[in-house]
Amino acid sequence: MVSVCFYFQLHQPYRLNKYQVFDIGRAKNYFDDMKNIGVLQKVAGKCYLPSNKMMLELIRKTDEKFKVSYSMTGVLFEQLRDHAPEVIQSFQDLSKTGNVEFLSETYYHSLSFLFSKGEFKEQINMHKRLIKKEFKQIPTIFRNTELVYNNELANFIENMGYKGILGEGADHILQWRSPNFLYRPKTTRKIKLLLKNYKLSDDVAFRFSSRDWNEWPLNAEKYAAWINAVNGNGNVVNLFLDYETLGEHQWEDTGIFEFFKQLPFEILKNNDNNFMTPSEVVKNYDTVSELDVHNIVSWADVERDLSAWIGNNMQMLAIRKLYEVGQEIIQTRNEEFANLWRRLQTSDHFYYMCTKWFNDGDVHKYFNPYDTPHDAFIAYMNVLADLKIRIKNWRLENEKKNFERRSRKNLARL
Amino acid sequence: MFGWELPPLYSGGLGIACHGLTKGLSRQDVKITFVLPSGQKDIKQDYMNIVFADSETSEDVKIIQINSILTPYLNSKEYNEKVNYLKSLAGNEAFIYGSSLASEVTRYTKAAAKIALNEEFDIIHCHDWMTFGAGILAQETSLKKGKRKPLIVQVHATEIDRTGDNPNNFIYQMEKYGMERADKIIAVSNYLKNVITHYYFINPDKIEVVHNAIEFGDYECDETFNLNKNYKIVLFLGRVTLQKGPDYFLKAAKRILDVRDDVRFVVAGNGDMWFRIVEESANLGIGDKVFFTAFLNREGTNRAFKLADLVVVPSVSEPFGIVPLEAIRHGAPVIVSKQSGVIEVVNSCLTVDFWDVDEMANKILGILDNNVLYNELKENGKKELEHVTWDNSAKKCIEVYNHVLGGGKW
């Protein structure tokens, strides 16, 4: 028996304006609305809408045997709500089929787990409320931003009541083990760990249209055969992908949609195979052993660590300074400030500052709205400086008001 | 005159100086044929005439452009990058420019010599090494036509200043050859005169000093910045290269930010050290208190000066330095490195050795915290500038012209 478990990530950040030093203190719009709306509408047209339509058809045509799960960030949801509500509608339609599961994550696609546990918990709960309200589901499975994972996280998430958690099936944590089983994270009692089968996932995500790849061209039959091969030495094949793989990273003319339309039928040709959502996987399978992941893993780059977001001093400084103002922002109880601060936590901002292959130019560049990581750093720090000034002025204003109120009270008493 | 960039296309002081001096000369009835490279920028001729329109005898300046991608301060590496970029746009066959910096300079030199053949002139005056070859060829052309015309090379900066004792030999040799062939050398400061005698072994009697100056005019920026309400702003403005000492500026910033939180720093400009300096601000942990702008145009520069409470020019070696004059004109006090020629013409600034970071930090706070000193520097500086005019520089330059025309040897 092999269960195929699809999970697609859905996320778009609020990209920043090229905020100038001259604008610091002027409280101009931090976000590049034109760019953000442009990207959103492009991706909605090329990926979200056609893919959702395809998923709905696949569920119907397979007599509801096909299943799929999504993790949608709050920041994407807000942008869709404001600029492409038809996409939300199509996700709600999918949710109603009962074959589509929404996972839990941080509302702002943040790395808050590493910097503030309180903030982390708050963002998970915000996201949970959103999913419940919009998709009428209560998520029981958690996936952290960029699949950042370790024992401590699993323990924390278990204590929040979750039944399962997603992680990267990186070689260095698995060693001789297979990603096609469930594991029990060390330091936990019940929570189950689903690991990404990165080879099969990346065959679609990265290699699908690569003519240098000796398996090119990939068709559904061949891919189903690779999944069949797991039969007998695994329970589940976890295919974790960015949703934009469909139609955006792999353009329509690569044949990605045709591939996907055939895939469920090819997989179901073997009666031993089926599709499951992560919560079904957790319900149906037991863990085979404990897995000890002390150091953090993620799903990024060959290093599978945090170096894409906090690998250089620009990134470290930016994120440290961001969380330094956290306490102060929470104390203002000002929703606008909190929202701005949280949007600045989105991991993409730090990804843009990555210098790992700055000189070669590569995938980092493709996703980067800035010319260089240094430009990203500068825009970010300028925005942060502006936010700090706004908070300071707001506080001074408030203190003044309080003082006046107290003085009036005292006068009245006299 | 073989000159450089005209407004608003300045990439640095060289263009500003050429333009200022030319205007000053034309106001004193010197007729000038101004030759400059202007490859990709494609300046319109009617615009070019406007550039000198405010001088009284604008018809006395004739401008000739040579299609070349040379720009001031270009080094070999940057040139190669530019060539590759242009080739990627135009394709190999359409590419007319030299494949290396040296060959492009040679190409420019030959084109300039052709111009000399058709133009009438009494004196050849060229600015910095890339034009020296053009000047020498123009002189040879004049000799063939019957009368050898005197050659004046004006030095704004040498390879020694730019690279800090690590010169590119080709450029050094080109500079030295031009200086040796010239009838007279104009240096923009005594500081530079010393460099020329020490490193190029030129007889000091052959060198005349004509200081740069500054144009007064409509440079006001009436914008106000909220950043000023919250912090004192210290500005570095210039190319972010070894010569300008941006790394010392950062170190001084670090010293100050270790003890104070009411000061912020701005680094305006770009250059080959820019990436390193941005990263270094993060390494030092002050990246949230040092702000960067990339290259600023005229308008942007004016805004930066307006934003600044104080300007620091920590150049490792600065033959003249127009930035301090501009800062003073905008009413910002300045701290200038002792390795700068500009301190020969203004006294209302504080000086510091570029490497003495402690003292630099000390003086920055000294000015920011002392209103009397602050206003003193601001007011007196403006007064001093009244005498630092291009008309005065042009007068001295004309003296040099008369000297060589009178057959005066050095």
**C-alpha distance from residue B261 to each of A332, B245, B322 (Å):** 22, 23, 30
- List the one residue out of A169, A159, A9 whose CA is nearest residue A76: A9
Instruction: Check CB contact under 8 Å for A314 and B282.
Output: yes
CB distance B394 to B24 below 8 Å: yes
* Confidence at A3, pLDDT banded by 50, 70, 90: very high
**B164 — contact with chain A (CB < 8 Å)?**
no
Which DSSP category does B67 fall into?
Answer: -
Q: How far is B278 from chain A (nearest CA, A)?
A: 7
Gap between the Cα atoms of A406 and B13, Å rounded = 58
3 state SS of A393: helix
- Which residues on chain B are in Cβ contact (under 8 Å) with A313? 279, 282-283, 287
Whether the ω angle into residue B167 lies within 30 degrees of 0, i.e. cis, is no
Gap between the Cα atoms of B297 and B13, Å rounded = 13
Token digits for B102? Answer: 């040296």
ipTM: 0.85
Cβ neighbour number for residue A105 with a 10 Å cutoff: 27
**B292 — contact with chain A (CB < 8 Å)?**
yes
Give the best-scoring range by mean pLDDT among A102-106, A216-220, A372-376, B2-6.
Answer: A102-106
Instruction: Check CB contact under 8 Å for B282 and A317.
Output: yes
CB distance B234 to B286 below 8 Å: no
Gap between the Cα atoms of A47 and A327, Å rounded = 39
Gap between the Cα atoms of B275 and A32, Å rounded = 24
**Structural element, H or E, at residue B280:** helix B274-283
pLDDT per position as a tens digit, A260-287: 999 999 999 999 999 999 999 999 999 9
**Percent over 70 (pLDDT), chain B:** 90
- Active-site residue identified among A101, A105, A119, A146: A146
**Structural element, H or E, at residue A102:** strand A100-102
Cβ neighbourhood burial of A44 (10 Å; 0-12, 13-18, 19+): buried
Largest CA distance in chain A: 89
pLDDT at A412 (0 to 100): 86
* Confidence at B344, pLDDT banded by 50, 70, 90: very high
pLDDT at B53 (0 to 100): 46
pLDDT per position as a tens digit, A168-203: 999 999 999 999 999 999 999 999 999 999 999 999
Residues 6+ away with beta carbon under 8 Å from B268: B235, B236, B237, B238, B292, B293, B296, B300, B301, B304
pLDDT per position as a tens digit, A118-173: 999 999 999 999 999 999 999 999 999 999 999 999 999 999 999 999 999 999 99
pLDDT at B111 (0 to 100): 84
**B226 — contact with chain A (CB < 8 Å)?**
yes
pLDDT at B38 (0 to 100): 74
Instruction: Check CB contact under 8 Å for A377 and B282.
Output: yes
pTM above 0.95, yes or no: no
Token digits for A152? Answer: 């401590």
pLDDT at A16 (0 to 100): 96
pLDDT at B127 over 90: yes
**Range 336-375 of A in CB contact (< 8 A) with B:** 355, 372, 374-375
pLDDT at A384 (0 to 100): 96
* Confidence at B51, pLDDT banded by 50, 70, 90: low
**A317 — contact with chain B (CB < 8 Å)?**
yes
* Confidence at A401, pLDDT banded by 50, 70, 90: very high
* Confidence at B4, pLDDT banded by 50, 70, 90: confident
Average pLDDT on A215-222 reads 93
Token digits for B91? Answer: 């394709």
Instruction: Check CB contact under 8 Å for B282 and A316.
Output: yes
**Percent over 90 (pLDDT), chain B:** 56
pLDDT at B73 (0 to 100): 75
pLDDT at B409 (0 to 100): 61
* Residue-wise DSSP of B71-115: -TT--HHHHHHHHHHHHHHH-STT--S-SSHHHHHHHHHHHHHHH
Say how many CB pairs under 8 Å bridge A and B.
Answer: 70
Residue in the structure block whose two tokens are 């003495």: B356
Average pLDDT on A374-386 reads 95
* Confidence at A95, pLDDT banded by 50, 70, 90: very high
pLDDT at B218 (0 to 100): 58
Domain boundaries, chain B: 13-213+390-404, 227-385
Least confident among A107-116, B163-172, B308-317, B362-371: B163-172
End-to-end CA gap in chain A: 83
φ, ψ of residue B64 to 5 degrees: the values are -125, 125
Considering only the top CATH level, what class is B13-213+390-404? Answer: alpha beta
Whether the ω angle into residue B246 lies within 30 degrees of 0, i.e. cis, is no
**B283 — contact with chain A (CB < 8 Å)?**
yes
Instruction: Check CB contact under 8 Å for B279 and A24.
Output: no
pLDDT at A40 over 70: yes
Q: Give long-range contacts, CB 8 A cutoff, 24+ apart: B331-334.
A: B331/B378, B331/B382, B332/B235, B332/B305, B332/B308, B332/B378, B333/B367, B333/B374, B333/B377, B333/B378, B333/B381, B334/B310, B334/B377, B334/B381
pLDDT at A32 over 80: yes
Pairing of strands A2-10, A236-242: parallel
Please determine whether the domains at B13-213+390-404 and B227-385 fall in the same fold group of CATH: yes
pLDDT at B96 over 80: no
Average pLDDT on B323-329 reads 93
| CATH topology classification for B227-385 | Rossmann fold (3.40.50)
Compare B130 and A236 and report the one with higher pLDDT: A236
- List the one residue out of A125, A205, A189, A168 whose CA is nearest residue A308: A168
Residue-averaged pLDDT of chain A: 94
3 state SS of A206: coil
3 state SS of B131: helix
Instruction: Check CB contact under 8 Å for B226 and A374.
Output: no
CB distance A381 to B287 below 8 Å: yes
Pairing of strands A192-196, B32-37: unpaired
pLDDT at A359 (0 to 100): 58
pLDDT at A103 over 90: yes
pLDDT per position as a tens digit, A225-251: 999 999 888 999 999 999 999 999 999
Residue in the structure block whose two tokens are 């530079």: B192
Average pLDDT on B368-377 reads 94
- List the one residue out of B332, B360, B364 whose CA is nearest residue B348: B332
pLDDT per position as a tens digit, A182-191: 999 999 999 9
CB distance B21 to B127 below 8 Å: no
pLDDT per position as a tens digit, B15-33: 888 888 988 898 888 888 8
**Range 21-60 of A in CB contact (< 8 A) with B:** 21-22, 24-26
Average pLDDT on A207-212 reads 91
Residue in the structure block whose two tokens are 């189903």: A224
pLDDT at B56 (0 to 100): 45
pLDDT at B151 over 60: yes
- Which amino acid is residue A363, in one-letter code? V
**C-alpha distance from residue B6 to each of A196, A383, B271, B375, B392 (Å):** 60, 35, 20, 34, 21
Gap between the Cα atoms of B289 and A389, Å rounded = 12
Examine the residue annotation and report whether A152 is marked as an active-site residue of this protein: no
**B85 — contact with chain A (CB < 8 Å)?**
no
pLDDT at B57 over 50: no
To probe the interface with A, which of B240, B288, B299 has the most A CB atoms within 10 Å? B288
Gap between the Cα atoms of A112 and A121, Å rounded = 9
Cβ neighbour number for residue B192 with a 10 Å cutoff: 26
Average pLDDT on A7-16 reads 97
Q: Across the strands, what pairs with B151?
A: B124
